[in-house]
Amino acid sequence: MRNPISTYRIQFHKDFTFTDFERIIPYLDKLGIKTIYASPIFEAVPGSVHGYDGVNPQRINPEIGTDEQLRYIHQLLAQRSIDWLQDIVPNHMAFHPANGWLMDVLEKGPLSIYGTFFDIDWTSPHHHGRLMVPFLGEPLDEVLQKGELTVAYQNQRFVLTYFDTAYPIHLRSYVTILQSADQYPSEQLQVWLAQVSELEGITDPTTYALHSTALQVKLDEWSRQPATKSYLTNCLNTVNKNSGQLKRITDEQVYRLCFYGETDSRINYRRFFTVNSLICLNIQHQNVFDHVHHYTKNLLETGVFQGLRVDHIDGLYDPSQYLERLRRLAGDDAYLIVEKILKDDEDLPANWPIQGATGYGFLSIVNNLLTRTSSQQSFTRFYQELVGERKVVRKELYDKKAYILFQHMGGELDNLFHLFSELQLASEEQLAALPDNTLKEAIGEFLIQCPVYRYYGNRMPLDSSEADAVRRIFDRIRTSKSRLTPAIDLLENVLLTRPKAGDIAHNDHALRFYQRCMQFTGPLMAKGVEDTLMYTYTRFIGHDEVGDSPLYFGLTVDEFHQKMIDRQAKWPLALNATSTHDTKRGEDVRSRLNVLTDLADEWIDEVRIWQKLNRPLKSSIPISESVSSEEESTFIDSPDPNDEYFIYQTLVGAYPMPDQDGEDFPNRLDEYLEKALREAKRYSSHDTPNAAYEDATKSFAHELLDTNRPFWKRFDAFYRQIADLGIINSLIQVVLKCTCPGLPDVYQGCEGWDLSMVDPDNRRPVDFEQRYQALDALLEHDPDWQELWQSRYNGQIKLRLVYTLLQERQQNPSLFAEGQYAPLMIEGRYKEQVLAFARHDTQHWYVVAIPLGIARLCRDQQTAPTTIDWGDTYILLPDEAPKRWKHRLTKASGTVETKIRVTDVFTDLPLCVLALTSV
């Protein structure tokens, strides 16, 4: 099995292309990167900044480069023994005119050769066999009345145009259009129109495609003739002046142009989360799988790709089946990982033929290790005092998921209810016995109360552990909403009681309904938690993070060790991520925020002072402008206490390093706050922005940055203290990422300080030239850690640590991939403030130690983090460990019998990575 050793994530787009990437290959090689981890590179919507809105998986995105360039880059990388891990998107494509497959479906409907590719419900009783196209700014009648929708002739076909968007027209409407003029069509066109009418009798998609294309080509040839061109123009002018005629043409299509807001309550295609512009694929169909992965397979077989990262595995109908097919396609040696967010100690399915997940779980583990668990009560009590109510995070989580389901995914819920009926999973008598609407509500509760993103059972009956998990959900619903008990009893009977060996018909239908439900529990969790709760529950925003949870508040040393032992046993080649393109804030922001949990009392006292100082900066906004209240006569302060606290935490975490370039921080903060307020959906939202509240909140934040105000002097002193302690936490993250079980993953630019906020802020251009020069200077001058600490704010201390540890990984790849993880005991006065472990195989040993809760030690000893007196604190070694050690971060060395004195290894920095040898 391939060992990537280390990965470096690159975000490709029109402003960072293959040509740009070629220039940085020598830098990444020198840094120690052994695998390039690329964002989606296949053709996407023009101007895409991320590539997840693909339109053609058979072609390289021309805004990025070409197939020839990619293969040349492969040669350059191969010369340096660097692999390529490619991010692929099997769940969805862009709902966009550039998506040729989808436009063919819009033109031909189920007769398109791509008719089964997209997850469309053609039989929905609400839509009469027509696919929703929800991209109008207003209802269709209003759009027609304003003259914003017209018919045009473009690229060999008639289209409906709406501003700069064009949708294809079915050939039956060509008859309508070409007979609309006040003159008869030519004999030539009359024969052509008769041939169009004959298409109605064709039922084979391939035959239909050939004949329809031939007719379109023939018409296009004639359209160049002056007489025909004039006739076409006359027809178009006539149609576009007649709103009734336009309405008739829109009604003749296999799709229905409609207002985008309709999808909150009604929809007949599966979309990515609640994003109308991303339509999902039926990747579970073998022909769709083969077609989507055809080019990817070629790039694997020719050695251009050595691994694949699967985006949004939870969206697929049957993830296990998909991964088995992908493994067969990619081969046994390919490195395969999935994007997967785990909840509540959930583990990846052990039967998946992959190397693990993309690293959100590791991010959460480290983030919680650096959070002081004992501060949870103080933070919670202060937060409840701050917001004036007793916010219970589990209740908040339920409420946000319920809001998303009923306000934005009502169509999806309605479809599940109708699917249950269509599959005849219950008798008419059973359904009639239920109170009105309780079955649909019960299905909704099942989605809402699912505690994880989804379950993966792909056969009935479900295995015992999954069945027990589903049964617990049903029991919780009976307890919390007893009136739904009859409907829940029916669901339990259908999904858990009736399925048994031999009842093939019921099992197949029950499984289809169950797996369909599972395709929506993930989006509900993501939208309710990641995109709502994480912006509203601000008790401690350091855990409002993808892969982490607002429910969490710390991890004990013993728990951390056990998680690493499990990780080594089950997923030794999974990614160790600390920042990604999807994280809510950069890794070094979280590192600073974690310091606050070490200084809970000081932090809370400081916030109270800030609130008093900044009260005059608030504006009073009519609550009638709020999206969350029905009252019209009262006013709210902007920002309210919850959002104000969010701003203070953001400033402490994300403000640029002392005395460094501000990176246009005020404008970046503006954009971030606007997105955060809209994601929170409390006073503003993406659908109904509240400019008054947003502007007042931004103005408040800008006033905080005024260095002449009293607040700034207090903030500056506090934040500088936190920044230094946060740097230590950041370096701890690097050490753990590079030495714990798993592979270190560096998100682009994060070998330097990463004080980013959520996207698009975390996708800002990276100055690779500056980093290359800095690395060259480090290697040429070889400064010691004391010197690097003195200039710590420029980020070179982190760059040096990343470089040093990646070299260790290169020199000992099998040890870090296969070696044991062994927790080490600590004794002495500060035994609670040190964590240590060994990584070893039969020949080599490493000992790693890091400090915990260093902020309190600095406060108690009134000293800097680099000069702490560790006293009689020791790291105990097992008897079989070698007795000589050499510090891999410094030039220190020594011998040991049974224990290592922490003072001897926490010298220039309170970090140690020791190589143990017997000679």
Token pair belonging to 219 = 């018409």
- For residue 69, count CB atoms less than 10 angstroms from its CB and return exposed for 0-12, middle for 13-18, buried for 19 or more: middle
Q: Tens digit of pLDDT for each residue in 653-708? A: 999 999 988 789 999 999 999 999 999 999 999 989 999 999 999 999 999 999 99
Q: How many CA atoms lie within 13 A of 205 on its CB side?
A: 13
Quote the CA–CA distance of 475 and 291 in Å, as a whole number.
Answer: 43
Q: Tens digit of pLDDT for each residue in 4-45? A: 999 999 999 999 999 999 999 999 999 999 999 999 999 999
Query: Strand 92-94 and strand 83-88: pairing?
Result: unpaired
In angstroms, the Cα distances linking 221 to 151, 229, 869 are: 19, 10, 86
Q: Tens digit of pLDDT for each residue in 135-144? A: 999 999 999 9
Structure confidence at residue 624 as a pLDDT band (50, 70, 90): low
Token pair belonging to 41 = 């590179």
Q: Tens digit of pLDDT for each residue in 314-334? A: 999 999 999 999 999 999 999
Structure confidence at residue 855 as a pLDDT band (50, 70, 90): very high
Q: Tens digit of pLDDT for each residue in 729-767? A: 999 999 999 999 999 999 999 999 999 999 999 999 999
Quote the CA–CA distance of 850 and 365 in Å, as a whole number.
Answer: 15
Quote the CA–CA distance of 24 and 245 in Å, as a whole number.
Answer: 57
DSSP secondary-structure letter at 350? T
- Let me know: does 563 contact 381? Beta carbons within 8 Å: no
DSSP secondary-structure letter at 757? B
In angstroms, the Cα distances linking 196 to 176, 247, 336, 530 are: 11, 21, 48, 50
Q: Report the interhelical angle of 376-387 vs 641-654 (nearest 10°).
A: 140
pLDDT of residue 628: 46
Within a 10 A sphere around the Cβ of 761, how many other Cβ atoms?
18
List CB contacts of 221: < 8 A, sequence separation 6 or more.
Answer: none
Which secondary-structure segment (H or E) carries 835?
A: strand 834-840
Quote the CA–CA distance of 337 and 309 in Å, as a whole number.
Answer: 5
Residue type, 87: D
CA dihedral of residues 533, 535, 539, 540 (deg, nearest 10) = 110
List CB contacts of 527: < 8 A, sequence separation 6 or more.
Answer: 273, 274, 404, 408, 409
Closest CA to 527 of 444, 441, 403: 403
DSSP string, 777-806: HHHHH---HHHHHHTGGGSHHHHHHHHHHH
pLDDT of residue 391: 72
- The 3-state DSSP class for residue 758 equals coil
Token pair belonging to 166 = 């064009």
Structure confidence at residue 623 as a pLDDT band (50, 70, 90): low
- The residue-averaged pLDDT of 518-535 equals 95
Quote the CA–CA distance of 194 and 174 in Å, as a whole number.
Answer: 11
Residue type, 39: S
List CB contacts of 233: < 8 A, sequence separation 6 or more.
Answer: none
Q: Tens digit of pLDDT for each residue in 56-100? A: 999 999 999 999 999 999 999 999 999 999 999 999 999 999 999
Token pair belonging to 342 = 């785990």
pLDDT of residue 390: 74
- Let me know: does 159 contact 152? Beta carbons within 8 Å: yes
Angle at 46 between CA 41 and CA 48, to 5 degrees: 55
Q: Report the interhelical angle of 504-525 vs 410-422 (nearest 10°).
A: 180
DSSP string, 253-266: SSEEEEEGGGGGT-
- The residue-averaged pLDDT of 572-578 equals 98
Structure confidence at residue 182 as a pLDDT band (50, 70, 90): confident
Q: Where on the phi/psi map is residue 59: left (φ > 0), alpha (ψ -120 to 50), or beta?
A: beta
List CB contacts of 60: < 8 A, sequence separation 6 or more.
Answer: 41, 42, 43, 66, 67, 69, 70
Closest CA to 100 of 270, 291, 329: 291
Angle at 234 between CA 229 and CA 238, to 5 degrees: 150
Structure confidence at residue 918 as a pLDDT band (50, 70, 90): confident
Q: Tens digit of pLDDT for each residue in 275-307? A: 999 999 999 999 999 999 999 999 999 999 999
Q: Tens digit of pLDDT for each residue in 788-839? A: 999 999 999 999 999 999 999 999 999 999 999 999 999 999 999 999 999 9
Backbone dihedral angles phi then psi of residue 874, each to the nearest 5 degrees: -130, 150
- Helix, strand, coil share (%) of the chain residues, nearest 5: 50, 15, 35
Q: Which residues in 497-628 belong to E strands, given as ranges?
A: 575-576, 619-622
Backbone dihedral angles phi then psi of residue 14, each to the nearest 5 degrees: -60, -20
Q: How many CA atoms lie within 13 A of 401 on its CB side?
A: 24
Quote the CA–CA distance of 372 and 599 in Å, as a whole number.
Answer: 9
Straight-line distance from the first to the last Cα atom of the chain, in angstroms, rounded to the nearest whole number:
33
Within a 10 A sphere around the Cβ of 31, how many other Cβ atoms?
20
Q: Which residues in 125-194 belong to E strands, given as ranges?
A: 131-136, 149-154, 157-162, 165-168
In angstroms, the Cα distances linking 58 to 42, 238, 290, 296, 771 are: 7, 40, 11, 8, 35
- Whole-angstrom Cα Rg for the chain: 30
In the chain, % of residues over pLDDT 70? 99
pLDDT of residue 631: 44
Match 């998303």 to its residue by tokens: 404
- The answer, yes or no, to whether residue 897 has pLDDT greater than 90, is no
List CB contacts of 166: < 8 A, sequence separation 6 or more.
Answer: 97, 152, 154, 159, 160
Listed in sequence order, the DSSP H helices in 371-528 are: 376-387, 393-408, 410-422, 428-432, 438-448, 464-480, 485-492, 504-525
Backbone dihedral angles phi then psi of residue 68, each to the nearest 5 degrees: -60, -45
Which H, E and C letters describe 176-188, residue by residue? HHHCCCCCCCCHH
pLDDT of residue 626: 43
- The 3-state DSSP class for residue 684 equals coil
Which secondary-structure segment (H or E) carries 581?
A: none
- Let me know: does 122 contact 74? Beta carbons within 8 Å: no
Q: Tens digit of pLDDT for each residue in 424-480? A: 999 999 999 998 889 999 999 999 999 999 999 999 999 999 999 999 999 999 999
| pLDDT, mean over the chain | 95
Angle at 566 between CA 560 and CA 572, to 5 degrees: 110
- Let me know: does 883 contact 894? Beta carbons within 8 Å: no
